[in-house]
Amino acid sequence: MDYSDVQPEARILIIDDSSTSIRLVSHFVRDMGTVHFATSGEMGLKMALDLQPDLILLDMEMPGMDGLDTCRRLKKQRVLENVPVIFITAHSGVDYEVAGFAAGAVDFIGKPLTEMIVRARVRTHLTLKRQGDLLREQAMRDGLTGIHNRRAFDERFLLECRRHRRNPESLGLALIDIDNFKAYNDLYGHQAGDACLREVAQVIDANVRRPGEFAARYGGEEFAVILPHCAGDEVQRFGAFLVSQIRVLALPHEASAAGVVTISVGVIAGKPVAEDAEQQFLSSADAALYRAKAAGRNCVRLAGRE
């Protein structure tokens, strides 16, 4: 079986100051994924943060920020800690290997480069990365609703805030709460409450369609949706649409003034320029959600707009 059938979406980043080495390694792995390259450690770090590669092939000897320092800095980034780094080096010996592994590398490829060796090492670590990703994805799912959980949300939201800060672009966030859910549980029982959570989660997840959009169970009867590249009016329309879609479900709720299950939504959009933008966004969206509740529930409110 050709490796491209196993993981055609693999992203491979080569960091090397030699254009000759980049061309050679790119040629060796050209059919194993999409190949990107950087010619310095500084450029490689920035590209890795933007690209989120599945594998990094890193030259150990580079001017300025060398391979060891680059690897250490890569591994300090939470979003890159699970990306395997393979050193390419002309050096051999225990001391070099110990230093490389201590910096966070998973393997070494010695120079002069041999195509069969390069392909074998790359194939092995892409496969291991894919298996690890599948296990992590399972750990990032909410057991009751099947959508992403709070841990997955925290990681993705941090990533999107950093990405939108670098660009910079407007990022949207929606916090969603099922109205009068405690009363629903008291009236219909926890089994029915679990079924309600699943149905609401499915509707939310089904309406997260654009690239980069991300829905998660935030906790209890609360959900969150990350909306990249969205301005205030767009996130407000999205929130209003979700409110209408939950009403369409027409799940009976005799303890609610609406007679059916409804949601309240707090939304915010803006450029996450501050270092603590994640917390600011969450606090503002939560305040907007509170205003939606105070306004009678079954509605959406935009942070900063009374």
Q: What is the pLDDT of residues 12-29, one digit of tens each?
A: 999 999 999 999 999 999
Instruction: Centre a 10 Å sphere on the Cβ of residue 226 and count the other Cβ atoms it contains.
Output: 23
Residues 300, 297: Cα–Cα separation, whole Å: 8
Q: Which residue has the higher pLDDT, 4 or 282?
A: 282
Amino acid 13: pLDDT: 98
CATH 3.50.50.60 describes domain 150-302: no
Contact present, 147 and 256 (Cβ < 8 Å): no
Which residues make Cβ contacts (< 8 Å) with residue 267, sequence separation at least 6? 172, 173, 174, 175, 232, 235, 236, 238, 239, 285, 288, 300, 301, 302, 303
Tell me the whole-structure pTM to 2 decimals.
0.72
Judging by beta carbons within 10 Å of its beta carbon (0-12, 13-18, 19+), is residue 19 exposed, middle or buried? exposed
Residue 159 carries which DSSP code?
A: H
CATH number (3.30.1490.20, 3.60.20.40, 3.40.50.2300, 3.30.310.50) of 3-139 reads 3.40.50.2300
Residues 274, 302: Cα–Cα separation, whole Å: 20
pLDDT of 273 above 90: no
Which residue is it, tokens 């892409």?
126
221 is catalytic: yes
What is the rounded end-to-end Cα distance, in angstroms, of the chain?
60
Torsion angle, CA of 143/144/150/151, rounded to 10 degrees? Answer: 0
Q: H/E element holding 21?
A: helix 19-29
Candidate list 42, 115, 221, 278, residue with the active-site label: 221
Q: What is the pLDDT of residues 194-234, one digit of tens each?
A: 999 999 999 999 999 888 899 999 999 999 999 999 999 99
Which residues make Cβ contacts (< 8 Å) with residue 191, sequence separation at least 6? none
Q: What is the pLDDT of residues 99-147, one digit of tens each?
A: 999 999 999 999 999 999 999 999 999 999 999 999 988 899 999 999 9
Q: H/E element holding 267?
A: strand 263-270
> Using CA of residue 292, residue 156, residue 200, residue 269, what is the dihedral sign?
positive
Tell me, rounded to whole angstroms, the distance of Cα 236 from its chain centroid: 23
| Domain spans of the chain, in order of start | 3-139, 150-302
